Structure 1
């Protein structure tokens, strides 16, 4: 979380804005919205937003039956169901960082992202539409 706050506050300072005063989860949301606001978000900001957003998803949808991958920044296991211990999990979702952030705030529709091949989803529990967006765009 320290890295996320550092990346967020550094970018806000670059934009002439004050440091972010909110809670940790609010900081994750703010970092995500800021990364999407920028035409070319800095790698540290993008990485922090993706990793912390994945952690929020894992907290809200605990389990081990689905692996959500956002290369090159992170992966988490989520959703209750059969636990796997080796090899490929029973369900996998994979997308790029900006698509993940758009899904996290509701700027991308889950079904359209899957149908448009922006998200690759396989397995019985691979539909994340029930868990996204994490922070609806206001």
Structure 2
């Protein structure tokens, strides 16, 4: 608590965070054919998930990037209990490539790199994220 007010566990991600060193470092490693360090990959995934959630507010789709994070986003009916009707799941490297425009949504789904279920589980209109 700061000054009598509760502080959030995770601060709101603003556009400067989308230019984080972790994202730049992780993407550079992927572009060079290397696997990013685990801590860098984790931070980059979380930053980009938070950017997606901030730019596409809602709770109708759950985007999962195990083991690093998950967010709910996209306007529409929200899910309250159990497994969400609309889910998107992928590995961390695929998420970084999709979020930064290095991989096309349709190709990722066709190749089985993204598992999407539900009528709202198409993120193609929201990706790649413009990182300015």
TM range (shorter): 0.7 to 0.9
Count of equivalent residues: 115
- Measured on the aligned residues, the alpha-carbon RMSD in Å equals 1.8
Distance 2:25 2:56 in 1: 21
Whether the 8 Å contact between 2:58 and 2:76 is mirrored in structure 1 is yes
Aligned to 2:47: 52
Q: Which structure 2 residue ranges, 5 or more long, are not aligned?
A: 1-14
8 A contact 2:88–2:121 mirrored in 1: yes
Question: Would the aligned equivalents of 1:35 and 1:49 in 2 still touch at CA under 8 Å?
Answer: no
TM-score (norm 2): 0.80
TM (norm. structure 1) is 0.77
3-state SS of 1:23 partner: helix
> Residue 36 in 1 paired to residue 27 in 2?
no
The answer as to whether partners of 1:65 and 1:125 remain within 8 angstroms in 2 is yes
Of 103, 121, 130, which residue of structure 1 is paired with 2:125? 130
Match of 2:19 in 1: 26
* Bigger helix fraction: 1
Post-superposition shift, 1:35? Answer: 4.2
CA distance, structure 2, for counterparts of residue 108 and residue 37 of structure 1: 12
State whether residues 35 and 45 of structure 1, in contact with CA within 8 Å, keep that contact through their aligned partners in structure 2.
Answer: no
Q: Given the alignment of the two structures, is residue 111 of structure 1 paired with residue 106 of structure 2, yes or no?
A: yes
Aligned residue number for residue 7 of structure 2: none
Shift of the 57–32 alpha-carbon distance from structure 1 to 2, 3 Å rule, reads farther
Paired residue secondary structure (1:77): strand
Q: What are structure 1's unaligned runs of at least 5 residues? A: 1-21
Q: What is the CA distance between 1:32 and its match in structure 2?
A: 4.4
